[in-house]
Amino acid sequence: MNVDTVNLGRHGLKVSRLCLGTMVFGSQNDEKASFAVLDEAEVLGFNFLDLADVYPVPPSLETAGSTEEIVGRWLKGRRQRFVLATKFVNPMG
């Protein structure tokens, strides 16, 4: 199975039809498991990742921002091939 790509908007940016949610990376999924999910998603053709400053869920002060840190480490050397959808909820730091 390969994920189809579609145009995002009218400017030629192509994203996978499915966006991979990352809200459990850093809580239910440790870094090793998160990397395995991301590796498999890349093989399947995903290039669209969903992040947020309040991930992982359930939110806590101890894990706040860890999803973005995990995905950031995984993206090293791959960043140009991926589109990130993000949002923010709370002040950080």
Q: What is the CA radius of gyration of the chain?
A: 13
CB 30 within 8 A of CB 74: no
Q: Answer yes or no: 25 catalytic.
A: no
Q: How far apart are CA 54 and CA 18, in angstroms?
A: 21
- Active-site entry in 55, 68, 70, 71: 55
Q: Which residues are catalytic?
A: 55
